């Protein structure tokens, strides 16, 4: 064996864990996740056409269109969990989304909701104070709002299941350095938003940064529930409460309404993509990530190894 091959083998051994298998190659989990996402959405769209569309009328059109937009992701959950169960080597992923991970508790779920709400509200308030946007109260239907909160949780949770559940945990199993799992799943999280309306480089960067933030929740708090909750609160706050674009998607149902005709681009707001494509959002997300990192290091937090 040549010296060059020997050096490569040594590097390979240092990079990967003893549990590494050929199907743990870093490109395979993201490809599988994308297939599961697409398959789930296709199933969801078929169910929407058959079950929900016949119920639409003039009085409930706005609500049902938003409900359908998020409800589709229930089938991403179903397809993904079915795949994890049928493919035996992926069954430990169930440990990541249950109390086997010690941070999957009501305490951290509620903390996640609070964190996501505060993060997004800071971004919106800065945009309002800078007079980039104007919003006014429209109306509130408690039952419909609660229903939308539930389906937003389903949507956000599905994305977390695939990114911070499946991809992150598969990469944690295969690679010694947790930074590979943290950054790797976050890059894919950004890539799956690349076709969203109004997407731009800063938006993609911020989506990657928020993926890193949520991955740190999983790593240091040992809680994908916290990541799911923070993701839910972020989306629900900007989209359903304030009526702003959610990853570029403007939906017709919200508690407050945006006066889109007067919105302007600035460091705090992007007319096409909302607060997620701004410098303010980047600062909020980076600051949050640093706090989590420092807290985790100070308290010597070590996540559960779901593969044992």
Q: Is residue 245 part of a domain?
A: yes
CB-CB contact of 8 with 55 (8 Å): no
One-character DSSP codes across 111-139? HHHHHHHHHHHHHHHHHHHTTS--EEE--
Query: What is the number of structural domains in the chain?
Result: 1
Q: Is residue 27 part of a domain?
A: yes
Helix (H, G, I), strand (E, B) or coil at 99: coil
pLDDT of residue 195: 84
Name which of 124, 99, 166, 111 is nearest 291 in CA terms: 111
Q: Is residue 51 part of a domain?
A: yes
C-beta atoms surrounding 86 within 10 Å: 9
Q: Is residue 188 part of a domain?
A: yes
Q: Is residue 175 part of a domain?
A: yes
Q: Write out pLDDT tens, residues 25-54.
A: 888 999 999 999 999 999 999 999 998 888
CA distance 224 to 165: 7
pLDDT of residue 220: 97
Q: Is residue 118 part of a domain?
A: yes
Q: Which residues of 39-68 are buried (b: 16+ CB within 10 A; e: fewer)?
A: bbbebbeeebeeeeeeeeeeeeeebbbbbb
Domain encompassing residue 242: 7-298
Q: Write out pLDDT tens, residues 99-154.
A: 999 999 999 999 999 999 999 999 999 999 999 999 999 999 999 999 999 999 99
Quick check: pTM over 0.85?
yes
């Amino acid at each position: 064996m040549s010296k060059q091959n020997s050096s490569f083998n040594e590097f390979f051994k240092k990079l990967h864990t003893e549990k590494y298998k050929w199907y743990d190659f870093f490109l395979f989990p993201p490809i599988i996740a994308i297939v599961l996402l697409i398959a789930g959405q296709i199933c969801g769209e078929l169910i929407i056409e058959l079950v929900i569309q016949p119920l639409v009328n003039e009085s409930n059109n706005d609500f049902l269109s938003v409900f359908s937009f998020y409800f589709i992701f229930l089938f991403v959950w179903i397809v993904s969990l079915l795949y994890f169960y049928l493919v035996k080597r992926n069954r430990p992923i169930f440990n990541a989304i249950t109390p086997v991970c010690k941070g999957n508790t009501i305490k951290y779920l509620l903390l996640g909701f609070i964190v996501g709400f505060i993060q997004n509200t800071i971004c919106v308030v800065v945009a309002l104070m800078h007079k980039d946007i104007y919003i006014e109260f429209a109306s509130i239907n408690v039952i419909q709002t609660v229903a939308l909160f539930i389906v937003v949780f389903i949507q956000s949770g599905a994305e977390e299941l695939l990114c911070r559940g499946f991809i992150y945990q598969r990469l944690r199993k295969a690679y010694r350095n947790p930074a590979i799992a943290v950054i790797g799943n976050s890059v894919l999280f950004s890539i799956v938003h690349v076709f969203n309306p109004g997407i731009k480089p800063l938006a993609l960067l911020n989506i990657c940064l928020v993926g890193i933030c949520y991955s740190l929740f999983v790593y240091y708090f040992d809680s994908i529930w916290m990541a799911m909750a923070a993701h839910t609160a972020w989306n629900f706050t900007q989209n359903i409460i304030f009526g702003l674009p959610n990853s570029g998607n403007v939906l017709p149902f919200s508690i407050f309404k945006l006066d889109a005709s007067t919105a302007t681009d600035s460091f705090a707001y992007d007319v096409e993509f909302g607060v997620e494509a701004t410098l303010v959002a980047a600062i909020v997300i980076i600051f949050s990530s640093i706090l989590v990192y420092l807290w985790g290091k100070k308290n010597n937090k070590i996540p559960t190894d779901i593969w044992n």
